């Protein structure tokens, strides 16, 4: 293990995360649905009424989240992204929704979403205009924050387009204070570091004090190349970003694209497993009205969600890479460990990986441990020791995900916590 990785592990296990934004929100990674990757800026409701950015789309997604078990699985936010507003503010300088696509207004939409036991998210931008060219919040931070509060919005995704990078920190901090000033609990999702990284290393202490989660890297696309690039960036910067994550504030690698078009099922499993290991917000961007049963089952897998939502709140990290495998580990509550073994090879068939190659294995399994395989299929692998010769079979571009629970010997009896 490298000195840098050893330091990262010690920081992750021993040090509390830096002080979080004190709004009582995002104590566990946010779960919900966000429109952007799947529906983008489709405003053509005349020829594509089923898929355009309109109140109808969000109402239908809210309906599906209740009907098909998403809410029960833990997904609670229905989030609007860019392209919802009119191109002009109203006479009082307030943002207003496009009247044709949102005839009932955002407050009515929020009421509908709340009636389903869900929460509504909305989008704005720190600069003069949003990324798609709609009115930005620069010069209107307090006005927009109060508008969102008046509409009973529960989450704000605040983008970073069209503002000089040296002003990003000031803008994000001002909006954070403006949201808190409203008195309404509004989860604050930032993109501050994403837009600052090209120029300098961001101040993650300040970011965590300001935001509930924050994007660091490029937008996700519906492709395996995109998923791999996000994982590579995260691993190469983990010594900087992992210590900042914890209850109240999380690194956001962007949306889950599971259930769309570009990923094989093994690759979908890899994204779900690694997002859980990274303690990432689980914000799906897909069409819940038309999703294949295997993708739905994966996104609602309670054992994976339990890893994502583990109360210890520690982000995982890449602990090893070699022979076209990557090993990612995440410390869990009750001294447990989650492990993801990713097969980067994209040719051939399943390959074997010796579990003894996992850095945390010998510690957690001394003297014994109980192992549960979660992906690619659920299987109780029983009691193991640190000397076990267990071999995991991992499909090309797939991931084996497992949890390891230490066993303590007390008066000759073996005990471990049953997580079922």
The residues annotated as belonging to the active site are: 159, 219
CA distance 154 to 168: 23
- 311: how many CB neighbours lie within 10 A of its CB? 11
Cβ atoms 58, 11 nearer than 8 A: no
Peptide bond into 376 cis (omega under 30): yes
Q: What gap in Å lies between CA 31 and CA 237, rounded to an integer? A: 24
Q: DSSP string covering 69-110, please?
A: SHHHHT--EEE--SS-B-SS--TTS---B-TTT-TTHHHHHH
Task: Judge if the upstream peptide bond of residue 69 is cis by omega within 30 degrees of 0.
Answer: no
Q: How far apart are the first and last CA of the chain?
A: 33
Identify whether the C-beta of residue 405 lies closer than 8 Å to the C-beta of residue 386: no
Burial class of residue 380 in the structure, from the number of CB atoms within 10 Å of its CB (0-12 exposed, 13-18 middle, 19+ buried):
exposed
Judge residue 345's burial from the number of C-beta atoms within 10 Å of its C-beta, 0-12 exposed, 13-18 middle, 19 or more buried. middle
Task: Please name the helix (run of DSSP H) or strand (run of DSSP E) that holds residue 202, with its range, or none.
Answer: none
CA distances from 178 to 79, 136, 137, 145, 188 (A): 20, 15, 12, 6, 11
The tokens describing 276, both together, are 């859980």
With tokens 């961007």, the residue in question is 285
Strands 351-354, 391-394: parallel, antiparallel or unpaired by DSSP? antiparallel
Instruction: Report CA 95 to chain centroid distance, whole Å.
Output: 28
CB 391 within 8 A of CB 405: no
């Amino acid at each position: 293990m490298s000195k840098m990785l050893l330091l990262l592990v010690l920081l992750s296990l021993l040090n509390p995360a830096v002080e979080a934004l004190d709004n009582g929100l995002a104590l566990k990674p946010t779960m919900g649905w966000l429109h952007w990757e799947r529906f983008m800026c489709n405003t053509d409701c005349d020829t594509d009424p089923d898929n355009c950015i309109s109140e109808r789309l969000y109402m239908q997604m809210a309906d599906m989240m209740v009907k098909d078990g998403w809410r029960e699985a833990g997904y609670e936010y229905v989030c609007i992204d860019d392209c919802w507003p009119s191109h002009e503010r109203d006479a009082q300088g307030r943002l207003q929704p496009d009247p044709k696509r949102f005839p009932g207004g955002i407050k009515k939409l929020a009421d509908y979403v709340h009636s389903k036991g869900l929460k509504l998210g909305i989008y704005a931008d720190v600069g003069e205009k949003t990324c798609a060219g709609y009115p930005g919040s620069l010069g209107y931070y307090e006005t927009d924050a109060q508008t969102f509060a008046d509409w009973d919005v529960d989450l704000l995704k605040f983008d970073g387009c069209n503002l000089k990078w040296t002003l990003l920190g000031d803008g994000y901090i001002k909006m954070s204070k403006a949201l808190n000033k409203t008195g309404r609990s509004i989860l604050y999702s930032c993109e501050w570091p994403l837009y600052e990284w090209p120029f300098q290393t961001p101040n993650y202490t300040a970011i965590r004090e300001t935001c509930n989660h924050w994007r660091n890297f490029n937008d996700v696309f519906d492709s395996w190349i995109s998923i791999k690039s996000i994982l590579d960036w995260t691993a190469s910067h983990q010594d900087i970003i992992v210590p900042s994550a914890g209850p109240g504030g999380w690194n956001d690698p962007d949306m889950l694209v599971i259930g769309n078009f570009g990923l094989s099922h093994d690759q979908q499993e890899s994204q779900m497993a690694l997002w859980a290991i990274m303690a990432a917000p689980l914000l799906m961007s897909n069409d819940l009205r038309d999703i294949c049963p295997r993708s739905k089952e994966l996104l609602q897998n309670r054992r994976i969600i339990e890893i994502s939502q583990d109360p210890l709140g520690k982000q995982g990290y890449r602990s090893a890479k070699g022979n076209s495998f990557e090993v990612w580990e995440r410390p869990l509550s009750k001294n447990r460990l989650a492990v993801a073994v990713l097969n980067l090879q994209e040719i051939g068939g399943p390959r074997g990986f010796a579990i003894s190659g996992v850095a945390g294995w010998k510690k957690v399994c001394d003297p014994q441990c109980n192992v549960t395989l979660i992906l690619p299929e659920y299987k109780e692998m029983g009691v193991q020791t640190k000397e076990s010769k267990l071999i995991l079979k991992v499909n090309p571009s797939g991931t084996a995900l497992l949890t390891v629970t230490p066993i303590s010997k007390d008066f000759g009896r073996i005990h471990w916590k049953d997580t079922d």
